[in-house]
Structure formats: structure tokens, C-alpha cells
Amino acid sequence: MAFVEAPAIARPVTEPPRTARDEGTGGLSGVKGGVGSSVYCMPYKSRVNGVPRTSYMSAQGDQLRLRAVPVDGRPALRPFFGYYGGKWRDATKYYPEPKHGLVVEPFAGSAGYALRYAHLKVVLCELDPVVFAVWKYLTKVKDSEIRKLPLLRPGQSVDDLHLPPEPSWLIGFWLNRATASPRKNPSAWMRSGVRPGSFWGERVRDTIASQVEFIQHWKVYHRSYENCPVKKSATWFIDPPYQRAGKHYKLGSEQIDFRQLADWCRSRKGQVIVCENQGADWLDFQPLASVKTTRRGRRSVEVIWTNQPRVRP
Ligand SMILES: C[S@@+](CC[C@H](N)C(=O)[O-])C[C@H]1O[C@@H](n2cnc3c(N)ncnc32)[C@H](O)[C@@H]1O
């Protein structure tokens, strides 16, 4: 990406643009170097499923930074890792917005719904110890630590990086697309270098680093859904391993008693949104949408159960 020295305008280095209106729409705008160094920013604004996503590139000396910028007080975050069955892309397209200030994902995975409303209180429960540990790490880690994580050289595996388990797993999730567990070696797709923004590399590392500050208030529990500590009214986004298709997870549908899960879903206080796939029969599911999957050319027919009157998005 080319950086052009732009005329200085009054926007302090330490204060990134806060609203969509403050942002340019792709042009360059300069930032006055208020702390003695010149900083040039390239803001850009895009919409993902109608939701403004605002981030900007900034350069300080030879450092290039991608920063997530809150839009009207709401950070527009991208997935911290890709995950099999992740709902980030479809969360704002098909599922209702939260009606409560607390969002609970009792089957967290990559928490695709919570990421869209990351500024709210968020509680995640996840039974898979690896997925849980990655979230715990992400909610505690400093952006500077993420920026220090190494990239993989050709022929290297994650083990060659000699990192603690959590960052190794985080990187491992970025070595292939939408897996249910971290990988050790880059997939053929990653090695081909075709989509650098989809695999572990500078861009992904920068995105994660720029976002960790926005999830520090999230609470993450290594628990099964039925032991989720939330008792009060909340928006419950319940996305278990699918009854028929959810066998790819380390903790998949075989270990779930769906009759018990149905009772538990019905007894939640507040707004309850349950995700499933066509053919599931443990609640009275209604058709939602035919959505793209990560497998080329494959679609999945999604269904929904909610305790709220349905308003079609
Ligand atoms: C369909 S995925 C959730 C995907 C998520 N909505 C997303 O956007 O990535 C289901 C998740 O539930 C986890 N899980 C399976 N059994 C569980 C249980 N009894 N309690 C909590 N989590 C469980 C799996 O490990 C998996 O991460």
C-alpha cells in the first residue's frame, strides 16, 4: 500500500477518528503529528452486510499499523480466528440484533455473533479447552505482544516457533480456513499465497493486535453450556454443534443431549436465538436462509428458533 505525505490536518495522533462521519471514504488524510513525529493515515470505510466497518492504516516511522476504530462507540471487529461453523459473516445479515446489554454465547467457538456487538457485556462458555484457552489469552494479551508474534518462514511449522500453547493455537487456527482445531502446518492454500489476508501473516497479526483492546471486558468460561453462570436476562445466541452435521468438533453433537438442551434454551431469561441446520428436530425450528459455507460451491440451509416474534431482517 502506498503512503503519500498528506497535508497536516488537526487530528491528534492519539485520537483516531471516532465516527463514520469523521472518516474519509478511501482518500488520504493527514494527521498532525502532535507528539513530535510525523504520522500519515489512510482511513478507509467499508460496509460489511450493511454494518460500517471502519479501520485505518497508519504509518509511524517504518511501522505500519492497522487500527480498528470504533464507529459511533461500537468497534467493528473482524474474527480473531476462523472457525468451522463460525457465524460472523451471517450474524448481522440473518440474526436479530441483541435486545439486552449482555450477550451470552454458551457455545462460543469463534463467537461470531458477540464480535458484532463487542462493546456490550459479553459472556462466552466453551467446553473445548483449546478454544477456551485461545479466548482467555485474547482477552488478556496486550497488542504489543501480538505484534511480536513471529510469522512462519517457508517450510516452518508452528512447533518451530517455540511459543507457549495459546499463541501457537491462535496461529494454528490461521493456517487453514475455518477449521475446528488449530493446525501445525500451513495448508496448500496458505502456501500458495493467494489470499494473504486470510492466513497467518502481517495483515492478520495487525488486525488481531488492533482489536484486543475491545474485548478486554469479555468474560470467558471453560464450562459446558448448562453451567453457564449467567442467571439474569440477556441475549442468548445459542449455536451448538448441529444435531446432524456437528460431528467435526472435538466436542461435537454426539455428547449433547438435545432434549435437555431444548429445555435449557426454553428456560433462558431474555431474548433467545438458537441456530441449527435443516433437519434438526429438537426445537420447532423455522427456515432462516440458505447460506454459503467455507466449502466451495456448498450451501447450508440454516434454521432458527427464537422466543421473540420474528421480524424478517
Ligand atoms: C457451532 S460451534 C459455535 C460457532 C460459533 N457460533 C462461531 O461463530 O464460531 C459450537 C461450539 O460449541 C462447543 N461445544 C460443544 N459442546 C459444548 C458444550 N457442552 N458446552 C459448551 N460448548 C460446547 C464446540 O467446541 C464448538 O466450539
Taking only the tens place, the pLDDT of each residue in 186-200 is 998 888 888 888 899
Taking only the tens place, the pLDDT of each residue in 29-74 is 222 222 222 232 333 344 434 434 444 444 444 444 555 656 666 7
Give the integer Cα–Cα distance in Å for 171 and 109.
16
The answer, yes or no, to whether residue 2 has pLDDT greater than 50, is no
Question: What pLDDT is recorded for position 248?
Answer: 81
* CA proximity to 39, closest of 11, 69, 72: 11
The answer, yes or no, to whether any atom of ligand 1 lies below 6 A from the CB of 173, is no
Question: What pLDDT is recorded for position 189?
Answer: 87
Taking only the tens place, the pLDDT of each residue in 212-223 is 999 999 999 999
Question: What pLDDT is recorded for position 178?
Answer: 86
C-alpha 166: how far from its chain's center? Answer: 17
Between the CA of 26 and the centroid of ligand 1 the distance, in Å, is 37
- Neighbouring CB atoms inside 10 A of 167's CB total 20
Between the CA of 138 and the centroid of ligand 1 the distance, in Å, is 17
Residue nearest to atom 12 of ligand 1 (CA): 107
Between the CA of 145 and the centroid of ligand 1 the distance, in Å, is 27
Give the integer Cα–Cα distance in Å for 237 and 10.
42
The answer, yes or no, to whether any atom of ligand 1 lies below 6 A from the CB of 86, is yes
C-alpha 143: how far from its chain's center? Answer: 16
Question: What pLDDT is recorded for position 279?
Answer: 92
Out of 45-54, 58-67, 133-142, 171-180, pick the least confident. 45-54
